[in-house]
Amino acid sequence: MLEGIAKVGDDTPPDDRQNILIALANLSKILGASEADSTFTELAETAATMLRVERAAIFLKRDGEALSVVGQVGQSDDESFTKGAILAAEEALFGVEPVIHSDISLSDSLNGLSEAGVVSLLCVPLSIGRASVGAIVAASNKKRKFSSTDVELLHTVASQTALKAWPEVPESECLDQAELIRLAQRKIQELSLINQVSGAVSSTLDIDVLIDIALEQSMLAVGADTGSLMLVHEETGKLQIAAAHGLARKTVENTSQQIGTSVAGWVAEHGESVLVSNAHTDTRFRMPFYRDDITSAASVPLKTKSEVIGVLNVNTTRPDRKFDERDLALLGTVANELAAAIENARLYARVNRRTKQLDSLLTISQTVTSTLNLDELLRRLSDEITKLFTLDACMILLLDDLSGRLRLGYGTGLKARRRYAYYDAASPLAAHIVKTRSRLVIKDVQKSRNFATEVSAREGLRSAVCLPLKNAGKLVGVAVGFAKDVRVFPKSQREIMRPLGELAGVAIRNARVYRQKYKMAEILTQRTMPSTIPGVEGLDIGHKFMPVHEIGGDYYDFLQVEPGKIGVVMADVSGHDVEAAEYTSMGKHVIRAYAREHIFPARVLSNTNDLICEDTRAEIFISAFYGVIDLQKKKLHHANAGCERPILYRPSEGSVSRLEADGMLLGIMAHTHFEEREIDLKPGDIIAMFTDGLTEAGIDKDRFGDDRTIAAIAASARLSAQQIADSISNALADFVRGQMSDDVAIVVIKII
């Protein structure tokens, strides 16, 4: 009777299916109503909802054989519909079987229904035992072909309607009262079960809650002593008990059956329900163990459209209780509803798991890509892998591009202080990854000949997970993680290994490239500064460089332009990265080259600017001061491209002035004009050149500025040029108290 309910969902739209479930859940409430007339109307509404039709009517035998309508929905005052529906009901009663008309116009006896607008009709008798007491009619205003599922659904409503009609039917036409009460109780149990399961399905996506409610209610409905609900494990493909009642805890925890083994395995393999009285002697089943005390058992598959996902089992040890086909149909209803619910819950779990995976990858991505320092990157990556897989130890080994050998990049979690202990523990596993280029998961390394080591044994390391770290398909390293317990890493963790390995591989590759460039930039920065200060007769030269970063753009330079003429450069390239170091080196050599061609500072800066502007990467700019001192004429010719204006201090006069000359930063716009000026020099004059890191240094809004710079120069004016440069740098250090944020370059020239 309930097989039709089990089939609902195969081709039924989701909204209609939900309405059907609601209608089924309300059946038991309707049957408890005290007013029979209103109950029959509600039952007619239930039938219309379940079959998705516009009209439904219930007819009962009264006054002997006459049929009268006791409840209907959809144009209840249409007399032509009522008369035609009675004819269909009589036809169903006469044949004691469903009456189906896909096209009413083809039936001569039901022309009245055509006049009422009915196109298709389904009618089933109301039966109690062997007696037919009425009929229920479902009519559609549209042409449709009623399926076997529709017939079974209407039979479900009809059987419950017949029970409600029992008091109004002559007792001579029914069964004896005791049997009728038993039948009524059974039907109410069926509806109660449907109500419970439907309620659970609509209220939760928690699989554990769903299956526990379904199993408990199923056992109550069929009078079982013990029962279990087994699900096919998504990874192993074996049947495992997900819920059980009346079974020993040890049995529940240890039971894992292959498909095809035992009764449940046979049901899972064939997708068919079975009734079993003696599993030991039944030739269909291969039983690993059996119980002699079970007198009857029933097992039904939980099926989705594509596969069997589990088995519902119930057993009894009572000699007087034998499960029958009716029990099997009832369990099948539960199994199919539960299968759909479990599939939805699993889909929800997969989506949720995928969302968490993406969140984890996003977090890891933000963590590992926020630094280009290789050592810091490896530490962060190790921490993230440890947290993600709940590990006790983690090692990251890097593959050398030239030698092809592995070396330890970072390790954490071992008691041993020796760095080499990390390599000893991880190297056998990492070597395997180098060969296979694939992930590796080991349940227990201590039971593996190939991967067990003295270090792993001493540290108590058991389970292991190994990730190849790749960049564009090329292996750059291996991450090896250990747990101190024996475990199976779930599918959700295994799925994230490949994208995590690729993400880490790209980050490691970028950090390695950056490290190489950084080392080159360090060399460039070191070579940019003059190794020696030229000894020039008539000049005392001092200098000071105060770097904040290992690589940067501040530099100064001295060059012999012509005999008796010396060039001085003070420059600052924007940025403190590898590119800034490259531009600094380029700027130095370009200025040197043009300085040998042209004696005029403005011409040198102009040519340098045009060359820099030709570079399409002109997001880096250079501020520069270039001056040429003519020792014979005691003159300084100078030009400025946005650099700090040098200070000219004359102790003999106690005067201070700035070397003014207009000019734009190098690299902003080609063919820019630079102003060139000339000043006379006197013995004792002090020229101080510096980058903006000096005057702009400060704490909060208080800056070192020009005044403090001039004060430091004046206070040490009688000293050597180098002592003056040191005096300025010491004054700055005292002012900022170690909180410098930018490099500072200082050059002091004293005219002798």
pLDDT interval class at 329 (50, 70, 90)? confident
pLDDT interval class at 4 (50, 70, 90)? very low
Is residue 259 over pLDDT 90? no
Do the two domains 3-191 and 204-348 of this chain adopt the same fold? Answer: yes
pLDDT of 3: 37
CA–CA gap between residue 468 and residue 63 (Å, rounded): 85
- Look up the CATH superfamily of 529-751: PPM-type phosphatase domain (3.60.40.10)
- Greater confidence (115 vs 409) lies with 409
pLDDT interval class at 728 (50, 70, 90)? very high
User: In sequence order, what are the residues at sequence separation of 6 or more whose Cβ sits closer than 8 angstroms to the Cβ of residue 120?
Assistant: 101, 102, 103, 104, 139, 140, 142, 143, 144, 145, 146
User: In sequence order, what are the residues at sequence separation of 6 or more whose Cβ sits closer than 8 angstroms to the Cβ of residue 551?
Assistant: 518, 521, 522, 524, 525, 576, 577, 578, 580, 581
CATH number of the domain at 3-191, out of 3.40.1280.10, 2.60.40.180, 3.30.450.40, 3.30.420.10? Answer: 3.30.450.40
24-51 tens-digit pLDDT: 555 555 555 545 557 788 889 989 988 8
Residue 413 identity (one-letter amino acid)? G
| Among 302-306, 428-432, 507-511, the range of highest mean pLDDT | 428-432
> Is 492 strand, coil or helix?
helix
Q: Which two tokens stand for residue 293?
A: 């005390």
Start-end of H helices in 392-485: 419-436, 454-459
| Among 252-261, 322-331, 661-670, the range of highest mean pLDDT | 661-670
Which of 439, 231, 424, 260 is CA-nearest to residue 346? 231
Query: How many CB atoms within 10 Å of residue 18?
Result: 14
Query: What's the whole-number mean pLDDT along residues 645-670?
Result: 94
Query: What's the whole-number mean pLDDT along residues 662-683?
Result: 94
pLDDT of 501: 92
- Greater confidence (44 vs 165) lies with 44
pLDDT interval class at 646 (50, 70, 90)? very high
pLDDT interval class at 14 (50, 70, 90)? very low
Show contacts of 205-211: CB within 8 Å, 24+ apart: 205/344, 205/345, 205/348, 205/349, 206/345, 207/242, 207/342, 207/345, 207/346, 207/349, 208/242, 208/243, 210/338, 210/341, 210/342, 210/345, 211/242, 211/243, 211/338, 211/342
pLDDT of 253: 77
pLDDT of 193: 56
pLDDT mean across residues, the chain: 84
Cα–Cα distances (Å) from 718 to 440, 686, 750, in that order, read 74, 10, 10
**What percent of the chain lies above the pLDDT cut of 90?**
44
Contact assessment for residue 30 and residue 46, using Cβ atoms and an 8 Å cutoff: yes
pLDDT of 192: 57
Query: What's the whole-number mean pLDDT along residues 394-421?
Result: 92
Contact assessment for residue 413 and residue 483, using Cβ atoms and an 8 Å cutoff: no
Is residue 94 over pLDDT 70? yes
CATH number of the domain at 372-520, please?
3.30.450.40
pLDDT of 414: 95
| Among 96-100, 151-155, 348-352, 420-424, the range of highest mean pLDDT | 420-424
pLDDT of 124: 93
Q: Give DSSP secondary structure letters for 675-711.
A: -EEEEE--TT-EEEEE-HHHHT-EETTEE-HHHHHHH
pLDDT of 140: 94
Is residue 185 over pLDDT 70? no
Which of 550, 546, 469, 545 is CA-nearest to residue 515? 550
Residues β-bridged to residue 276? 297
Q: Report CA torsion sign: 292, 294, 296, 302.
A: negative
Query: What's the whole-number mean pLDDT along residues 629-637?
Result: 95
Is residue 347 over pLDDT 50? yes
- Greater confidence (465 vs 741) lies with 465
What does the angle CA 314 – CA 320 – CA 325 come to, to the nearest 5 degrees? 50
Residue 133 identity (one-letter amino acid)? V
pLDDT interval class at 6 (50, 70, 90)? very low
pLDDT interval class at 78 (50, 70, 90)? confident
pLDDT of 432: 96
How far apart are the two ends of the chain, measured CA to CA in Å?
118
Is residue 169 over pLDDT 60? no
CA–CA gap between residue 396 and residue 53 (Å, rounded): 67
pLDDT of 747: 97
Is residue 410 over pLDDT 90? yes
pLDDT of 581: 77
Contact assessment for residue 575 and residue 567, using Cβ atoms and an 8 Å cutoff: no
Contact assessment for residue 106 and residue 81, using Cβ atoms and an 8 Å cutoff: no
Is residue 291 over pLDDT 70? no
Q: Which two tokens stand for residue 117?
A: 């607008």
Maximum pairwise Cα distance, the chain: 143
CATH C-level class of 204-348: alpha beta
> Is 55 strand, coil or helix?
strand
| Among 255-259, 315-319, 664-668, the range of highest mean pLDDT | 664-668
Cα–Cα distances (Å) from 128 to 27, 173, 178, in that order, read 18, 9, 13
CA–CA gap between residue 195 and residue 334 (Å, rounded): 10
Cα–Cα distances (Å) from 362 to 367, 499, 508, in that order, read 9, 11, 17
199-241 tens-digit pLDDT: 555 556 677 887 888 888 788 878 889 999 999 987 788 999 9
pLDDT of 2: 36
**What percent of the chain lies above the pLDDT cut of 70?**
86
Domain boundaries, the chain: 3-191, 204-348, 372-520, 529-751
CA–CA gap between residue 356 and residue 492 (Å, rounded): 9
Which of 734, 671, 669 is CA-nearest to residue 699? 734
CA–CA gap between residue 647 and residue 685 (Å, rounded): 10
Phi first, then psi: what are they for 442, rounded to 5°?
-115, 125
